[in-house]
Structure formats: structure tokens, C-alpha cells
Structure 1
């Protein structure tokens, strides 16, 4: 018995310690989401991927812009004649030549291939931006799930600790009655068995809580404090299922992402087909030179143009077109799949809320009835009309009902946030979190600066 009492005491200390950490400052769901938004590595990685995708726009745009270069060089040359009778040392001469100049190259027409590549790059950057929003929703939903897992875990630990205390009291009562001749050894054995089961359930709840707290800290970056599941984000949920579906189909980042992916694939097809057309380029050079023997050479220059038309490339051009067509079809299929998945997620979350409401109502009734039954059975046991087993069974039923209420309440909160995520509204902006929203839009605008690279070189 000493081991069981110590176990309960240690669990009580764990709960009290967790409560004392946040007793002065309760940690709401909104606060946890705010901290997690700034901490989440997955969200930061998505932002970096979006910035990387934005650079593809600059790379594509460079295809229709000139390349201008400056060069300076020099060389040293010498020659020596064959020695002869009249000139035993031979003839030796040397000179140095220095050159400097500018070069200019530009593709003036490529059958609109570059324009198609720019459009593909812009659509790809848009895909990456929507991927940030999608990752944001996944991260915030995972935080809510971890938050509620810790909160419900603490409630279950407290409940099962209370259950163990009850069984300990019943075991002592059974022993006392046995000592005065009013009970039986069967009552004692049954109470001992229930206490052992209660201990096992309690220890399992403690282990589960430790795992949940570790998961919470991974997402939030800090240990959970005194958690409180109350929130006002249910106001973002529309009044009907159809309204929720309509909102999801219009604004969910996964759907917007799939639309941008279709545009990127279409532009890729256009670029592949443009490879069959002609390409025209112009080039020019201007420079000067100086030779230590001949002196200055003055200015010299060259201007030229070239038109090329592909005739055969070993089948590569046709393969690229076919591949681009396949990718375009695939993007459209992926978009249809995204619509179906989002619709399913909305319906599932909506049903989850309705189910949780019904379970909460039923669990509240079961808990109220279970308390009444337990009190009555204990009184009847004291009068001799019920047994210890009846009391233990009544306590077990009450505990099951209370656990059901905890689980139903947890499921209600998770289903609410799951519906917001399915609608595309589980974002820092929609939730009103006090954070700087992660976005690559400004970065996209910066890389569109035509002369940024030239200014950087000049500086």
C-alpha cells in the first residue's frame, strides 16, 4: 500500500507543480498559437521556400534582358631569332598589349518562350506563397491538438488520481468492516483488485501526459502552463454546412494553390511549344587597345545579329512538349482532388462538432446520474442491502462518464479548429494573432527590380 500512496502523491505533486507555474498567468489557446507561430520551424522553412521560388521570377526575366559586361586584359609576347655568324646573339624582341572593352548581348525574340517562363515562375511563386498559408494552418491545428491533449491529459490524471483515492478509501472501509465482523474477505479482495486497476490507469495517464507535454513544447517552444480551453473563435464558423463548404471552396489555400499550379503548368506547356520557333539575338562589342611597340590602337567595335530555327534536337523538343502536357493534365487532376478533400474535411469537421455537442450533453447527464447512483449505492451498502462490489461498479461507471465528458469537450474544441482549418480560416490574420504575418510578397516585389543587380555591382 505504501507504493500506491507514494505514486498518487507524486502524481499530485506533478499536477500542482504544473498549475503553480501558470497559476499567475493562464496560457490561453490564442497565446499558445501566437508563440507557436513565431517559433514553428516548418513555417519558417515554407517562407524560405517561397523566397527561393521568387528568385525563379528574376531568373526567368533575365532571359529577355541584356547582358552587359566589361573586360580588361593584357598579354606579353616575345620572339628570338636564330643565332648566325654575323649575329651570334640572334634577334630578341618583346611587347605588351593591353585591351579594355564592353560587350552587349540580348535575345530580342524567342517565340515568346521567355514570357511563358516568366508566367510559370510567377505562378510558381504564388504556389509557394499559398503553401505558406497551408503550412500555417497545419501548424496552428497541430498546436491546438497538442494544447488540448495536455489539457485533457491533466484532467484525466486528476480524475484517475481521485479514483485511486476513492478505491483506497473503499479498501480501508472493507478492512474495517472485516475487523468488526461486518464484511468479508471477498470485499477486501475486490477492493484491492480495483485499486490495482486504478493505479495502472493512473500511471498510464501520467505517461500519456508526459508525451503530450513534450509534443506541446515541440510546437510551442515552451512548456505548457496553466491551460484554459475557452476561446471565441467559434464566431468565425458560419451558420450552415453549405456556407462553410462555399467559403472553403473559395478561400482555402490548398485550392488556391492548386489553381496557381494549373497556371504554372499551362505556362510550362506554352514555353515547351515555343521552343519550336525561331530565336533572334543581337550582340556588340566596343573597346580599345595599346601595344608598347605599335602604340595606341584607337577604338574598335563589332555589331551583329543571329537568327536560329530549330530543325531537330534528337527528340528532346517533342518530349518536353509531351511532358508539359502531361504535367498540365496532372495539375488539373490534383485540383479536382483538392476540392474533394477540402469538401470532405469540412463535412467531417462539421459532423465532429455536432457529434461532440451530443456527446457532451449525454456525458453531462451520465455524470449527474452517476453521482446520484454512487451516493445511493454507498448508503445502501452501509445499510447492508448492497455490497462493496456494487459501490466499486458504481464508481467505475461514474469515472467512465466523467472521462467521456473530458473527451467530448476536447473533441468539441479540436473539431471547431479543424473546421476553421478546412475552411481556410485557421490563419494568424483570421484569428487576429498579435504576430507579424509571414509572407514572401514583399520579397517578390523586390526581386522584380530590373536594375538592382547593376546597382549592387556599382556599390
Structure 2
């Protein structure tokens, strides 16, 4: 009966370890997501890209705004050793001239090309903002996957460690039975083989856990602590697949980004077509000069206007229009592809939840039955009606069922968050994370300030 004593001791040790872990403060999924949100380099890069896209709006608006400049200059000239009209004696002479002035240039009409460019830039900035939200979802889903990978790998390591303890107890029991003439060498060899196999699977689980922890740390920026997979985000899941699809089609950032890209492409076509039309600009300058000798020369200025009508540009205008039309068509095709991908992701995640629920029910039943079978086979082996191999096989079936339960539970959590992501709701705002939401909206408002640059110069 020595193997039973060892098995009880092993189970007790595992129970004590579980109590010890449970007594420490758990790191919830929400906490991991919150930390990762502030840490994620991909999310920070998306924010910077959105700010850069916002600057395109200011650059486009500059096309119809006045260009005002100030200038100040001076020259010094001298001559010596050669007679000239101004210096008949050839003696040394010098003079200084100083000028100051203001200039003004502005395009007052360009066949609405600038308007189209501004619209394209605004659509691009909007798409970049949606890209932040899309990146946010990808990052948070990757964190959940890494989180659950660590948690399930830890459970598998504990399970396979328990397996080793069980096989060690069975091996010792087989040897004891052999010593008293109740067993065979075959029983011992089979127990040794299962122990070696169990040790190999344990080492594989440990290696997998190390990789999962490294992945977790890459996304979260800190090593995983005592993880707890419980969450209340399932409340965000709608009651039907059709409702989930409806929310995804109207609110997923990838779809909204595609729509913004279509607007940008349409504006690009308008801009290219505007190049065929006339443009008009005005210019002016005012300035003064002072020379020594000679004194002040007064104030002078000039005004002018230019009207330009393109006639032929070597085919560049026509090519730009054709290219813009192609890009507009491509943006519409990309939008259809995004729509199909999102729809597929919603259906796949929904099916994943349903499948995981069924697998969890089946695995729970299998684990319960497996425990009963194992206890019965051990008792029958002790009575001599079963062999050690029967016990080992029963343990293997129970272990498979328990691993299936771990995997099904993990898949349920991942499928839940995958559905939230497919619907467009895996965001810091929807999850209620205690973070400052990354957005370039305020930055967009700042760059459209007409007088910002002038105030900056004045300061």
C-alpha cells in the first residue's frame, strides 16, 4: 500500500501549493490589459503615425493660405586704384546699402484642388485614428492569448508533475509486489516506461511555459504573477450571432478605416482632375532702402497677379488621374475584403465559444468518470483482477480528460475576447480599463489652428 501513501502525500503537497498561490494577490486579466495598454510599443507607434497623418491636413490647407515673409539685407561695396565715373581720381571709396521689406503671395483659386487635398488629408487622419483603435484591439487580444497561454501551461505543468508522482508511486508499488511475488517484471517495465514518458511530457510542458512567460513579458512589460482568468467581460457579448455581426459591421475600426480610405481616394481623384483647370494667384511686396552715402530712398512696393491654364504636361496630368481612379477602385475592393474578414472573424469566434462550451461539458464529464474508473481499477488491481497496465491506462485517460478540460477552458476565454475583438469592442473604453485612452483627435484640432504657426514665431 506504499504507493497510496505517496499519492496522498503528493496530492496534499499540491493542495498546499494551491492554497499558497491562491493566498497571494492574483494578477487579473484586467490588470494585465491595463499594464499592457500603457506599455505596448505598437500602440504608441500607431499614435505617432496618427499625429503625423494629422500634419498632412495643415500641409494641404497651406495651399490656399497666404505666404507672408519679411526680409532684411545689407551690402557693402568699395573701390580703389582705378578711376571711374563716380570716382575720377581713383581714390579709395566705399558705400553701404540696407534694405527691408515684406512680401505676400497667395493662391486665390486652383480649381478646388486644395479643397480636395484637404479632404483627402482629413480622411487620412481619420483612418489613422481608426488604425489606433484597430491596433489597440490587436494588442489587447494578443495580451489575452499570452495570459491564457501562461495560465494553461502552468496548469499543464502542475498536472504532469502530478502524473510523475503517480507513476513513481506505481513503479514503487510494482517493485514491491514483485519482491513479494505478487507482480511481474513486465509490470515494473511498464511502470518505468510510463514514468519516463511522463517525465518527457513534463519537461516539454516546462519548456512551453518558459516560452509563454517570455511572450507575456514582451506584451505586458512585466513577468506574469499569480494569474486569475476570471472576468466579467462576457456581459459585452450580445445574445445572438446576428446582433454580433450587426455591431461589427457598423463599429469595427477596420471597417471604419476602410470607409475613410475610400473617402481619401475619392478626394485624391478630385484633386487629380482639378489639375486640368485654371489657377490664379496674387503677390505683392513693400520695402525701403537706405544707402550711405545717399541716405534713405523712401518706400516702394508692387502688386501683381498670375492666371495659369495648363495645356500640356507631357502626359503627367492624365496619368495622375488614371492612377487616382485605380487607387479609388482599390480602396473599395480593400473595404469589401475587410468587411468579409470581419464577418468571418465574428462567425468563427461565435462558433469557438459554442464549441468550447460543449468541450467543457464533455471534459467535465470525462474527468468525473475518469476519476471513478481509476479508483475502481486500482481497487481491482489490488484484488488481483486487474494489472498495473490497466491502472496506467486509466491514469492516462484521466490525464487526457483533464488536459482537455484545461484546453477547453482556455479556448473559451480566448474565443470570448476574440469575439469582442471581431465586433470592435476590445478597446480600453469598452473594457473600462483605468488608462488614458490614446487618441490623436486633440492633436488634429491643434494642427488645424490657422494662426498657430504665426503665434509660435512671435513667441
| 2:61 corresponds to 1:61 | yes
1:77 Cα deviation after fit? 1.9
Match of 2:240 in 1: 240
Aligned 1:45-56 pairs, distance under 5 A: 45-56=45-56
1:294 Cα deviation after fit? 1.5
CA contact (8 A) 1:150 1:213 kept: yes
Match of 2:37 in 1: 37
Distance 1:20 1:215, change over 3 A: farther
Aligned 1:57-456 pairs, distance under 5 A: 57-80=57-80, 82=82, 90-456=90-456
1:145 Cα deviation after fit? 0.1
Distance 1:341 1:19, change over 3 A: farther
Find the residue that maps to 1:296 and give its secondary structure: strand
Find the residue that maps to 2:311 and give its secondary structure: coil
1:156 Cα deviation after fit? 0.3
Cα separation, 2, equivalents of 1:71 and 1:77? 20
1:83 Cα deviation after fit? 6.0
What do residues 86-126 of structure 1 show as CA deviations (whole Å, max 9, x unaligned)? x9962443211000000000000000000000000000000
The alignment's C-alpha RMSD in Å is 1.9
What do residues 286-337 of structure 1 show as CA deviations (whole Å, max 9, x unaligned)? 0100010221011000100001111111111111101000000000000000
What do residues 359-418 of structure 1 show as CA deviations (whole Å, max 9, x unaligned)? 000000000000000000000000000000000000000000000000000000000000
Question: Number of matched residues?
Answer: 446
Structure 1 residues not aligned, in runs of 5+ = none
Match of 2:3 in 1: none
CA contact (8 A) 1:129 1:441 kept: yes
Structure 2 residues not aligned, in runs of 5+ = 1-5
Distance 1:449 1:240, change over 3 A: same
What do residues 31-65 of structure 1 show as CA deviations (whole Å, max 9, x unaligned)? 11011001100000000000000000010011110
Distance 1:203 1:291, change over 3 A: same
Find the residue that maps to 1:129 and give its secondary structure: helix
What do residues 131-178 of structure 1 show as CA deviations (whole Å, max 9, x unaligned)? 000000000000000000000000000000000100000000000000
Find the residue that maps to 2:455 and give its secondary structure: helix
CA contact (8 A) 1:22 1:225 kept: no
Cα separation, 2, equivalents of 1:303 and 1:282? 8
